[in-house]
Structure 1
């Protein structure tokens, strides 16, 4: 069994040593950030619901003539406020997800230092080769393995690269280059945490980029890019034309709301 991670009672590493203190400090900061974002998320969710219900009520009453026509404009203003709140809420939710991933990263770091193997789920058993000359002797893969201790990758390619490095030797020049990269990245704790958090946000499980590359190399992205480029510019004049046509009685008076809704949807999903 590989036991490369120092334990709490090791003379070289105690709970007050720098790695422990740093992980705990960063984890506590993430918890505070997450709690603050959850409060903001709840407030924005309530704001969205209130604005939506008010806009719906005013629009319905104005549509059926129970209120003056200006109620429709008030409903439109509340609808725009709802969209603003929705965009803000989405950003808060995204920040909260990032904070949760950062917390998980630091908790995983503590688990590695304390030999809590059950909290390190990636065993790398798929890369275990019984015929490999030294994989079993060095416990490269499987439970309590070197791969389980080291793996902090967030993509399938990264995982495969790590497994490949463990299974295959490398020239001394390549080893020196890797060690130099490690030395440069080691003090950049914030950058490393940010990169890992961004990778974790891609998906719950490590994504396989093969399908994405196949899609990117097809003709569909080019057609989609052409449409997505002109659509935001075409919708505003189209919405204005629909409004004028409705005002002159050429089209239903409220058809222009469809164009406005399409613009709001694009703004929401592009944010």
Structure 2
């Protein structure tokens, strides 16, 4: 079996693994639903029996045994509810796991409709790009419903989504990308652990304890500092409740006068009423804090488990690297920093902090657990238990609050790496790029470069070289032949490389670079900006970006220009395009420009700079004798020998009018 067949087999293996996971999970979910149904029936029968017997005992006074049996049935109902709770939790986990697996499959198949764009759009609403980054992201489809982000992302939290988006739209810097790639190689083989990570991250991301909200709460002022009387009253209330209960118990054994017991009972009723009012009217903000900081004991445990995944970055994992890339044991300072922040700092690490928060969450979760709710009620109505829990929580906040932003910055990086690890696992025939050392000629050179958002069965790959500085790749060809797709293929693979991910190519070497594009330009009628002027503004931004980078020896500007300056006549366009390219060449930028204007390709000044390639079409009659135009999307050397605008008019029925039609 050759390398291509072997790679396809491993890619298919990932899809088969996902389908097997989905099938096994659905079978487990079916069994859990059946068990849950049986528990529901038992609970219904026990509750109904308890209700009937206790009602009968209350109204008919049949004897103590009816009370005993009735209360026994009620206790059985409570026990069944407690035993049913883990089954419900397991059902919820299986459903989440199914969603994760379905998302993994949808990504592999580029099934954009199956991916939840509403959730991704909400996550990406927190992304803040510069105008230059927005232009590049729009031109290359970095973000959006059918975008590179949707293809690579498995992020469940806003901070993970934001980090991944920043990486895709950021500079492709060799040193940073190598560090990320080292982590991706280590994480890719951990199939089961990554799947668990995705499910947990999705759960905390959809809940009220999303990292962004957690970070904001950690930096907020203390609620109890503004309501100090509440803690004082909680302590007084607990002491009063203990005294009143002691007096009532004393009355039962003859130690407390009846009159005192009655007063104690009345005082107890007032105490309960006051605390119920406080709970329902004033503790809403406290419960909101609980829902963010420790939605449940499980949510804190899930965060702790997510942070602990950072230990996988240092484990030596045997990985078959088909393309001779550096081994999985490569060590980098950035990965060590992530582990230090999340795991190894003995006093301020995320794991240490979450262990401490787990103890507070165990107290706070009493109100949300069926097993402990009956214990929580008296603690709350007699002693304002929630206020005591908040006291512990704010003590935790004072100790760890300032470290929380650093925890989640590191976690965002870890979650982005987890997403890109899935891309590595699912596309074993994609390669990590080689980086051109600083000081050597800046050349983007690829073999078998493809568009990563096109399905494997439809993708056509080409060998593409852009650079060295002083040259430009001129891509000619007729309409719909593949010019724009080729430019986007370059840009999207640069974005992947900069994020540390493998690229859709058999081989790629490139310098550290930043992208600048003019592909999808729009006019702005509201501001009175014509299409031509909008293009000029965009091109000025591309040139200004190249000038900024010309002063930096560590990276180069890579520009991608598609059919620029169409809003003017052919001769002026030739001169203007040449002038724009001269500015970019003077900045030592490298790049590619596409055109279907063959006269532009013949411009003498441009011919001196350009390496020209082309795409072409083939027109052949179908069995009915009608012309059909096809494209092979293969890039060839030289200027395009064909045009197709008039033939396309004829094919769609808008060809030259006949004399009869003219009359």
- TM-score above 0.5: yes
| Larger mean Cα displacement after TM superposition, 46-55 or 131-140 | 131-140
In the alignment, is residue 152 of structure 1 matched against residue 154 of structure 2?
yes
CA distance in 1: counterparts of 2:224 and 2:94, whole angstroms: 32
CA distance in 2: counterparts of 1:178 and 1:155, whole angstroms: 19
Shift of 1:269: 6.0
CA distance in 2: counterparts of 1:192 and 1:35, whole angstroms: 24
Check conservation: 2:43, 2:80, Cα contact below 8 A.
yes
Check conservation: 2:35, 2:87, Cα contact below 8 A.
yes
Check conservation: 2:107, 2:151, Cα contact below 8 A.
yes
Going from structure 1 to structure 2, the CA distance change for 1:237 and 1:155 (only over 3 Å counts) comes to farther
Going from structure 1 to structure 2, the CA distance change for 1:240 and 1:26 (only over 3 Å counts) comes to farther
**CA shift digits 1:185-238 (9 cap, x unpaired):** 21222111112212333364796544444445443489999999xx9xxx9999
Shift of 1:43: 0.9
Shift of 1:138: 3.1
Going from structure 1 to structure 2, the CA distance change for 1:243 and 1:265 (only over 3 Å counts) comes to farther
Task: Give the TM-score, by structure 2 length.
Answer: 0.33
Shift of 1:134: 3.2
Q: Is the helix fraction higher in 1 or 2?
A: 1
Q: Which residue of 2 aligns with 1:102?
A: 97
Q: Which residue of 1 aligns with 2:20?
A: 25
In the alignment, is residue 41 of structure 1 matched against residue 36 of structure 2?
yes
Q: Which residue of 2 aligns with 1:219?
A: 222
2:202 to 178, 200, 203: 200
1:163 to 151, 162, 165: 165
Q: Which residue of 2 aligns with 1:131?
A: 132
1:92 to 87, 92, 111: 87
Going from structure 1 to structure 2, the CA distance change for 1:104 and 1:173 (only over 3 Å counts) comes to same
In the alignment, is residue 268 of structure 1 matched against residue 370 of structure 2?
yes
Give the CA RMSD over aligned residues. 4.1
CA distance in 1: counterparts of 2:248 and 2:161, whole angstroms: 53
| Larger mean Cα displacement after TM superposition, 84-93 or 71-80 | 71-80
SS at match of 2:171: coil
**CA shift digits 1:131-171 (9 cap, x unpaired):** 32632443211232100111211111111111111111264
> What are the equivalent positions in structure 2 for 1:37-116 lying under 5 Å apart?
37-116=32-111
Q: Which runs of 4+ in 1 moved over 6 A?
A: 221-228, 235-244, 246-249
Check conservation: 1:55, 1:78, Cα contact below 8 A.
yes
CA distance in 2: counterparts of 1:214 and 1:183, whole angstroms: 33
Instruction: Point out which structure has higher relative CO (alpha carbons under 8 A, 6+ apart).
Output: 1
CA distance in 2: counterparts of 1:48 and 1:237, whole angstroms: 38
> What are the equivalent positions in structure 2 for 1:247-262 lying under 5 Å apart?
none
**CA shift digits 1:110-132 (9 cap, x unpaired):** 21222211112336574576632
SS at match of 2:136: coil
Going from structure 1 to structure 2, the CA distance change for 1:43 and 1:121 (only over 3 Å counts) comes to same
CA distance in 1: counterparts of 2:86 and 2:33, whole angstroms: 12
Shift of 1:46: 1.2
CA distance in 1: counterparts of 2:137 and 2:162, whole angstroms: 15
Check conservation: 2:158, 2:212, Cα contact below 8 A.
no
| Larger mean Cα displacement after TM superposition, 181-190 or 154-163 | 181-190
CA distance in 1: counterparts of 2:83 and 2:231, whole angstroms: 26
Check conservation: 1:121, 1:148, Cα contact below 8 A.
no
Check conservation: 1:54, 1:78, Cα contact below 8 A.
yes
The number of aligned residues is 250
CA distance in 2: counterparts of 1:46 and 1:85, whole angstroms: 10
Check conservation: 1:41, 1:93, Cα contact below 8 A.
yes
Shift of 1:87: 1.9
**CA shift digits 1:28-69 (9 cap, x unpaired):** 011001101110111111111111111222222222244312
CA distance in 1: counterparts of 2:156 and 2:74, whole angstroms: 39
